[in-house]
Structure formats: structure tokens, C-alpha cells
Structure 1
Amino acid sequence: MNTQQRKLVFSITVLYTMLILYFIFFAFGRTGTVEHMTGYTFIFLPDNFYKLPSVSDLLHPTLMDFVGFGNTVAFIPFGILIPMLYRTRFIRFISLFFLSILVVETIQALTLLGSFDMNDAIQNSLGAAVGFGAYKFGVRTNNVWRNMITIGVSMIVLLAGLWVACGLVDKAFTKHEGPVVALNELKDSSGDTSTGTDLYSFKIGGQNIEPQHNVFSAGGKKVETYTYALGKKQLVLSGYYGIPDDPSGDFSGSISISVDGHELLSNSEEYQRREPEKFEIPLESAGELSITLEGNEQLWDIGFREMKYFWN
């Protein structure tokens, strides 16, 4: 590359850097939000840097899909322009680039023009890495146009590869809901696994209820409590509850569901509707489950889905 070409590439790099810095610090109304900021925001632990928008996301994109994809694509040119100006190896290039992005993120947070987000820093660096790889694959001959075409094709291939790799990583490190396990498949505090398995039908608000897995009630007592050990797992607890129709017009009862001593659901006849009510409660490290039913309250088809990685 001769001196004139080098000056042109340098000018393009400076102008593109200024454009990116403008978007980082001043675009999207950032300056107008400074007076509403109450403190610095630092996000040190990455959570979704590997999750690029899926094909379905791009068919029905949201603003955050554009932001996530743009955080990667917008930094690809740096991976092409900088190696054109300075001979450098990938490790040195990506290390210095990542440190530079961290400095920019820090300034963004300290000036209250945004937040320090490790996810952004990693996405930006992934984009620069794609550009660097495309440049190294593309510069093979002295033919400028052929090199440009090769760089373009390489960039598309590497970006697609990154997209696929990110999808696989996302699947590997994101928990998904497992199959529903009925609560009566667990042993209660007395060691009984048959509790709730005596199925029977009833009506709530004139609607016929036909439980499929279990039915829990006070069993003729004023109050009944059921206790189960959930094994400190991450679960989603779900089921239905309600007060059945009674020929005598007795509409009384209450329900309370607690996990490790913390009440998560509580309702009584005063606030309940005369229809079945469904609940779904996410649980983190759930230990002991306690269900207390009073009066005519019925609880049925209660179960849980364990959050698991796909390899489990």
C-alpha cells in the first residue's frame, strides 16, 4: 500500500471512529437523559453476549434485536481498517481493541451518557474479530478488486459462522423448562406418594372440573397442610385452585403456598372469583414446599417443571 492509499485508509478510519463515538455518546437522545440519571451503571458480568438475534427475531425485529446485531456488525470495519494500517497479530489486535472498548464503556458510564456493559464490549470485539479474519482471508493477491470481493465474502461467511456458534452457545448455557412432573409423584413429609391421587370431579362457577393428575383439599378438616421437599432445584410451579359450587351456598376457603418459609401465593374467598384460577410461580433453589388449604378450597393438577440445560 502506497502513501496515498495509506492516507486514504487512515482518513476513513478516523471518520468512522468519530461516527461510532457519536452513536455511543450522543445518539438516541443520550444527552437529554443525563439529568435524570441518579448514579453510575456498571454491568461487569456478561449474560447474553453470545445471543445474537435468531432468524425469527429478524423477521419480526424489535429495537433490542437491532441494537444487539448492530453492536457486532458496526465494529467489523475496525477489524479490516486497522490491520491495513498496522501489521499486527490477532491476539495483540483483539486484546488492545477490547481494552479500548472497556475504556470507552467506562467513560460512557462516568459521564452518565450510558452504562458500562460487558455484553456490549464483547459484542463489539466479536465484530472486530470477524473483520480481522475477513481481512486476513481476503488479502491474497495484488488485485485490489479481487481482494475486496474476497474480504466481503469472507466477512459474510465468518459472520454467519459466528451467528451459528452464538446460537449453539446460547442453547448450551440457557436453561429450558423440562417436562411437567405431578406433585403427587414426590413423597410428602410423611413419606406418602399417594397423597392427592384420589381424583374426583366438581364444579366451579358451573364449569365442570376433571382433574388429570391430583386433587388436594382440606379433606373435611378446617385446615390441612401438605409439605414436600423439592431438592433445592430451579423450578416452575403451576396448578389450579378454586372453591367448588356448594348446594348450601357455602363459599368459604383459602389457599397459601410457601417455599422455604416465604409465602408466594395467598388467597381467600373474599378475593377469589367464582371460577378456576391458574397460577405459575418460578422458584430459585427451591427447598421445602408447603401448601395450606382451609375450608372448601380445592387445588388440582399441581406440578412442576425443572429448569435444565439441554445436556441434562
Structure 2
Amino acid sequence: MSKQRKVIFTITMLYTILILYFLFFAFGRMGAAERTTGYTFIFLPDSFFKLPTISDLLHPTLMDFVGFGNIVAFIPYGILILLLYRTTFLRFITMFFFSILVMETIQALSFLGSFDINDAIQNTLGAAVGFGAYKLGVRSKNNWRNFLITAISCMVLLLGVWGLCGIVDKASTKEEGPFVAINELMDSSGNSSTGKSLNSFKISAQNVKPHYNMYGVAGGNSETFTYSYKEKIIFSLYYGIPEPTDYSGSIRVSVDGREVLTSSGEVQRSDPDLFPAIFEIPIEAGSELTITIEGNEKIWDVGYRKMKYLWN
């Protein structure tokens, strides 16, 4: 083995020891292992493309560093292995991926971590970036020139992978769409009750102007409204008792019989700074939402936002 090859081999071994330390002992893994009672195996890839954004890195958390480090930390292997052995990309990436799977399995079985296929894919992406950078950079006998081009290629390919992962993340993540007002709710008699838009009123000395609709009951009675939707939505409404008031009134909201909101005039009297209040909740497809209003309680701007993909 040549002197240069021995140096590269030593660097590879030392770097591997460093990586193994982070895989098995860093981040309090030893203490966590003592509290772990079961194995964790994640076999389905679903989040390997969820890398921190530029805005995340301006105020990074530990998980941001871990997510980005899963790729960056393994880039050197794509360069070091090629400096030691001649191999094709397919053979290299296959052997590297299976090696990472072995490490992930040991992590899970030793309770020093979990088997996470997403981590394995991110690690392999990093090694692939290093492999590509080496192939682009090492093209002459000038070592300094090769080093510079390889370093630049690493940054370009990493930015490319980062950007591609961001595009995939955006395309595969549902976000809230525009607000859609619900202008008809089913009342307790089974008829459609139309929400009316009224003039502005005051709650806790604040001027309130409903933009879309308003529901209430007359004469201090009680009324129950129901609503169901075939798709998953984010349901929302505003509520409160307009002034002047004796704070007689209340509101209850249930989803499939499970109460998710209850409020009364006494709550508004004791803590007026919370009103007018907004209520928002995700509703699963096919669920039935029930709203019961009593007394002078009012709800307005009742509606939802549909969860949809960016490309919809």
C-alpha cells in the first residue's frame, strides 16, 4: 500500500469512528437506551426529503442540524472510498446503502437509536453527492485543481439535492386552501338555516363586523346546528356575546359526539380580553360537527379551509 493510500485509509477509519460515535453514543443515546422498552423500526420512506429550509437554518434547532447532517456528514464517503477503490456508481451506492441498513439495525437492536429507512436514504444521498463530486472533480494530475473542483462540485450537487428535496416536500405536503364560508347549517328541525350578515357590533369594547355570515337564536332560546363534510377540512368560527349584555348565553361544539369547545357568558364576563374568540379544529372526512348556541351567544364567519396539495 502506497504512502498516500495509507494516509487516505487512516483518514477514512478516523472519520468512520467519528460517525459511529454520533450514530451510537452522541445526543444522550446511552441514557435513552436505559429508558427504552421496545424496538423501533420505520420501514416505509416518507420524510427523507423533509430537509430544513433556509429560514429554518436562520434559527436552527437540534433537529435541523440532524436533518441536514444526515446528508452532509456522509458526503466524504463518496470521495474517500473512490480514492481507495475503483468501483461503479451502482456497486458503490448498493454496498453503501446496505452498510447503512446494518448500522440502523444495530442501533435499533441495541436500543441506542431506531431503524429509520428515511435516515438511511438521506445518508446514501450524501454519499451519492460525494461520488458525483469526485467524478466531476478528479480529472487531471493537478491535485490542488482536483480538490478545488471537487469541493465546488460538492456544494453545487448538495444545493441541487437540497432544492429537489424542497420541491418534493412542497409537492407532497397538503396546506390550507382559501377560506370558504358556510352559509347554510342544518338546524335541529332538519331545515337549512341561512347565516345572515349583520351590521357591526361590539364585544369587549372592540368593533366586530362579520364578513361572511352570522348565526344566533332569538328570544334567549337554544338552537343546535350540524355540519358534515366529505373531505378533511380545517373548520373555524368566531364567537362571543355582543354588548350591551347580561352575559346570558353559551356555546358548545362537538365532533361525532365528543365535546371540543364549551364557553359561556360567565367566561366572557370573567376574562373579557379573550373575546371575541376564534375556534379552529381539523375535521376528518365524514365527521359530523354539532354546534349548540344558547341565549345571546353569536357565531360568525363560520367556514373552513380545505387541505390541498400545492399543485391542485
TM-score, scaled to structure 1: 0.89
Equivalent in the alignment of 1:235: 233
Equivalent in the alignment of 1:301: 301
Equivalent in the alignment of 2:140: 141
Offset at residue 221 of structure 1 (A): 6.1
> Cα–Cα, structure 1 residues 187 and 90, in superposed 2: closer, same or farther, change >3 Å?
farther
Task: Output one character per residue of 1:236-277: Cα deviation in whole Å (capped at 9) or x when no partner.
Answer: 112211223345x2x222222233443322333454444322
Question: Structure 1 stretch 73-82 or stretch 22-31: which is displaced more?
Answer: 22-31
Q: Which runs of 5+ in 2 are unaligned?
A: none
User: How do 1:269-308 residues align onto structure 2 when only pairs under 5 Å count?
Assistant: 269-272=265-268, 273-274=271-272, 275-308=275-308
Whether the 8 Å CA contact 1:243–1:296 is kept in 2: the answer is yes
Secondary structure of the corresponding residue to residue 244 of structure 1: coil
Q: Which runs of 5+ in 1 are unaligned?
A: none
Q: Distance in 2 between matches of 1:223 and 1:30?
A: 57
User: How do 1:189-208 residues align onto structure 2 when only pairs under 5 Å count?
Assistant: 192=192, 195-208=194-207
Whether the 8 Å CA contact 2:197–2:210 is kept in 1: the answer is no
Question: Structure 1 stretch 172-181 or stretch 83-92: which is displaced more?
Answer: 83-92
User: Which amino acid is 2:149 matched to?
Assistant: T
Q: Distance in 2 between matches of 1:110 and 1:252?
A: 61
Equivalent in the alignment of 2:263: 267
> Cα–Cα, structure 1 residues 150 and 208, in superposed 2: closer, same or farther, change >3 Å?
closer
Equivalent in the alignment of 2:243: 245
Question: Structure 1 stretch 112-121 or stretch 124-133: which is displaced more?
Answer: 112-121
User: Which amino acid is 2:237 matched to?
Assistant: G
Equivalent in the alignment of 1:15: 14
User: Which amino acid is 1:29 matched to?
Assistant: G
Offset at residue 159 of structure 1 (A): 0.6
Query: What percent identity do the matched residue pairs reach?
Result: 62
Equivalent in the alignment of 1:92: 91
RMSD: 2.3
Q: Distance in 2 between matches of 1:139 and 1:297?
A: 74
User: How do 1:20-99 residues align onto structure 2 when only pairs under 5 Å count?
Assistant: 20-99=19-98
Whether the 8 Å CA contact 2:239–2:298 is kept in 1: the answer is yes
Offset at residue 93 of structure 1 (A): 1.7
Offset at residue 78 of structure 1 (A): 0.7
Equivalent in the alignment of 1:175: 174
Whether the 8 Å CA contact 1:199–1:213 is kept in 2: the answer is no
Secondary structure of the corresponding residue to residue 308 of structure 1: strand
2:146 is equivalent to residue 150 of structure 1: no
Task: Output one character per residue of 1:131-190: Cα deviation in whole Å (capped at 9) or x when no partner.
Answer: 011111122223322222221111111011111111111111111111111111x57476
Q: How many residues are treated as equivalent by the alignment?
A: 306
User: Which amino acid is 1:263 matched to?
Assistant: E
> Cα–Cα, structure 1 residues 153 and 279, in superposed 2: closer, same or farther, change >3 Å?
same
Whether the 8 Å CA contact 1:260–1:287 is kept in 2: the answer is yes
Whether the 8 Å CA contact 1:239–1:280 is kept in 2: the answer is yes
Q: Distance in 2 between matches of 1:221 and 1:91?
A: 75
Q: Distance in 2 between matches of 1:14 and 1:81?
A: 10
2:159 is equivalent to residue 160 of structure 1: yes
Whether the 8 Å CA contact 2:233–2:305 is kept in 1: the answer is yes
Equivalent in the alignment of 1:210: 209
Q: Distance in 1 between matches of 2:196 and 2:91?
A: 65
Q: Distance in 1 between matches of 2:25 and 2:173?
A: 34
Secondary structure of the corresponding residue to residue 180 of structure 1: strand
Offset at residue 217 of structure 1 (A): 1.2
2:121 is equivalent to residue 122 of structure 1: yes
Whether the 8 Å CA contact 1:240–1:277 is kept in 2: the answer is yes
